[in-house]
Structure 1
Amino acid sequence: MPDLVIVFAGSPAAAVPGLSTLSASRHEVAAVVTREDSPTGRRRELTATPVAVAAEELALPVIKANRLAGPATEAITALRPDLGVIVAYGGLVREPLLSAPRLGWINLHFSLLPRWRGAAPVQRAIIAGDDITGASVFQLVPDLDAGDVYGTLTQAIRPDETAGELLDSLAVSGAQLLLGVVDAIADGTARAEAQSGDVTLAPKLELEDGRLRWTETAGEVLNRFRGVTPEPGAFTTVGGLRLKVVEARIAHDAAPLAPGRFSLADGRLLVGTASSPIELITVHPAGKRPMRAVDWWRGRPAGAAVAE
């Protein structure tokens, strides 16, 4: 007999390690809740979430719903779960579903709470220049990411690490943290402590959050680039046209340039900031394929160009 009957809710790839780890544990994952298929790619084909794909591979029942209400709540409640586990589902759990599992719901969140409560904790931490982040497992309550914390892990943020890379890493280490908490809850040894410290919020990133601000220092520009890579993506505009920045780094050895000014020097394409220039390595012009930044620069229409 399984120790606990669990309902797991999650959607993106970052939730898959947690699902896989729990499905291989001494507990039973009775159902997986994930968001409905959505159009993706240029052809806008309906695509299942990574969690839905993983659940089907694990032969686990799947409930697809964009809101945890109505039929979804009824289906979950009918399973009479001991515990609900949520990892980046993309929606809120409200009453009566919040109280439906015998032991309530726990949430694996990719930050050191109460810092960065919200939908984009990893991205916001990098944009803000944090050196340390981590993951927390807490008891879900009606207020946003405010419940008592069962366990945490800390992890250094590498200077060149993008949000996508950091999230992939935290998803794996966080899955082990999550399993440890679930085991402790089953054994009756889990202890949760109230959050303490200053609260910061991490709202969902919008497309405009990816715009690089050349009047900031090179460190701040690079932090934003890393924080919005791969989603929603870093960009600037040149001559009114959008230019996505795929790869970039600080050119510490280059002479300063006025913010937004380009310079082709020693085979590198540089853009000025409030401190050192940024070297653009790979860019993605609108309507074209990604290419080397120097090739884009040499093939651009004639005339002066400034990044805005």
Structure 2
Amino acid sequence: MRIVFMGTPNFAVPSLEAVATAHEVALVVTRPDAIRKRGKKLEPSAVKTRAYELDLPVLETARMTPEALAAIQQVRPDIIVVAAYGCILPDELLAIPAIDCINVHASSLPRWRGAAPIQRAILAGDRRAGVSIMRVVHELDAGAYCAQADLEIGTSNTTELTERLAVLGAQTLIHALDAIADGNAVWQDQDEDQVTYASKVSKTEMLLSPKLSAVQNALLVQASSDTAPARVVIAQKGVRVLEAFVVDADNTATMVAGEVIVKHGHVYLTCTDALLELVVVRPDGKRDMPAQAWSAGLRGEGLTWEKL
């Protein structure tokens, strides 16, 4: 089939590679170069970089302008495949492909419609996360789906889970495209009673707090990202927590939430019910380091931690 592929971040790259192997990619649409890291330099999207490596034509646009719609119309796609493109798609685009416009969405719909399904699944303590191959419709992530697959989240953080779901999404997408091409795809409407929404995660809601349980704080660390990091103040200094896990306290009756315990090179934060052991941290203005190495700089009794 003749495909227009629309995507931007790393999550979309495995799907692009899979589609390019199995079908004709007539055009790749991605968002323009942007400042994506701390270097303050314009960088191409992951999809643009991979598309050029695959010698595929690329259209860069931040939104579906009349010119962009005309360029997509000109290549006469059978199907438009969308994977984390990053823009609301107008109804005019949905009318272009001869067969359909489908999306690789990183959740088991109808759970977690919206912008941050992977982080929301982690924050909610979901045991499993998934992907859905769904029709793009006017309403946000409300289209019927023809294929789904899922996996166990386990201890995967946001970056790791995104990578795992990206591969799973590519595999599921190819099976779905084969079924669509053969006319065997079975479309399932979403159960509106089961819908949950994955709004964008803000920086403020990712701040660790001694008023939360150890599990809640651990989930914040697991769901952390560069745009919304898990942060805390320890000994009056800001720290990003990159890896941590829950440890049961020996005596919760005498434990006071908000204390910092440094013992044999281990750093523990007391929470409302248990301890959170820090494994990897990034003190403000410094590099990532093991908490054990960082703990050498913590001095004195009565150390405390608090919300930033």
Short-chain TM bin: over 0.9
- Answer yes or no: is 1:6 the counterpart of 2:34: no
Tell me how far apart the structure 1 counterparts of residues 75 and 227 of structure 2 sit (CA, whole Å).
35
- Answer yes or no: is 1:23 the counterpart of 2:33: no
Tell me how far apart the structure 2 counterparts of residues 112 and 43 of structure 1 sit (CA, whole Å).
35
- Answer yes or no: is 1:77 the counterpart of 2:77: no
Contact 2:222–2:243 (CA<8 Å) still a contact in 1?
no
Give the match for residue 143 of structure 2: 147
- Residues 305 and 213 of structure 1: is their aligned pair in 2 closer, same or farther, counting only changes over 3 Å? closer
- Answer yes or no: is 1:307 the counterpart of 2:299: no
Give the match for residue 293 of structure 1: 291
Tell me how far apart the structure 1 counterparts of residues 282 and 3 of structure 2 sit (CA, whole Å).
43
Give the match for residue 174 of structure 1: 169
What are the residue-to-residue correspondences of 1:264-279 with 2, within 5 Å? 264-279=262-277
CA RMSD of the aligned region, Å? 1.8
- Residues 42 and 112 of structure 1: is their aligned pair in 2 closer, same or farther, counting only changes over 3 Å? closer
- Answer yes or no: is 1:259 the counterpart of 2:257: yes
- The AA in structure 2 aligned to 1:150 is C
Instruction: String of CA shifts for 1:165-214, please: whole Å, max 9, x gaps.
Output: 11111111111110111111111111201011411100122222321233
Tell me how far apart the structure 2 counterparts of residues 264 and 75 of structure 1 sit (CA, whole Å).
61
Contact 1:209–1:228 (CA<8 Å) still a contact in 2?
no
Residue 271 of structure 1: how far off its partner (Å): 0.2
> Of 100, 109, 113, which aligns to 2:109?
113
Tell me how far apart the structure 1 counterparts of residues 256 and 27 of structure 2 sit (CA, whole Å).
56
Instruction: String of CA shifts for 1:11-31, please: whole Å, max 9, x gaps.
Output: 111110000001000x21101
What are the residue-to-residue correspondences of 1:153-302 with 2, within 5 Å? 153-158=149-154, 160-196=155-191, 197-229=193-225, 231-238=227-234, 241-252=237-248, 254-256=250-252, 257-300=255-298
Residue 156 of structure 1: how far off its partner (Å): 1.5
TM-score where L is the length of structure 2: 0.92
Tell me how far apart the structure 2 counterparts of residues 240 and 76 of structure 1 sit (CA, whole Å).
54
Instruction: String of CA shifts for 1:68-124, please: whole Å, max 9, x gaps.
Output: 223211211111111110011111111211211122310011111010001111110
Contact 1:262–1:307 (CA<8 Å) still a contact in 2?
no
Give the match for residue 132 of structure 1: 128
- The AA in structure 2 aligned to 1:284 is R
TM-score where L is the length of structure 1: 0.92
Tell me how far apart the structure 2 counterparts of residues 105 and 205 of structure 1 sit (CA, whole Å).
27
Q: Secondary structure at the match of 2:188?
A: coil
Residue 232 of structure 1: how far off its partner (Å): 2.5
- The AA in structure 2 aligned to 1:72 is A
- Residues 76 and 268 of structure 1: is their aligned pair in 2 closer, same or farther, counting only changes over 3 Å? same
- Residues 237 and 71 of structure 1: is their aligned pair in 2 closer, same or farther, counting only changes over 3 Å? farther
Structure 1 residue ranges without an equivalent (≥5):
none
Q: Secondary structure at the match of 1:24?
A: helix
Count of residue correspondences = 303
Instruction: String of CA shifts for 1:259-293, please: whole Å, max 9, x gaps.
Output: 22101123211001111100112211111122232
Tell me how far apart the structure 2 counterparts of residues 177 and 275 of structure 1 sit (CA, whole Å).
41
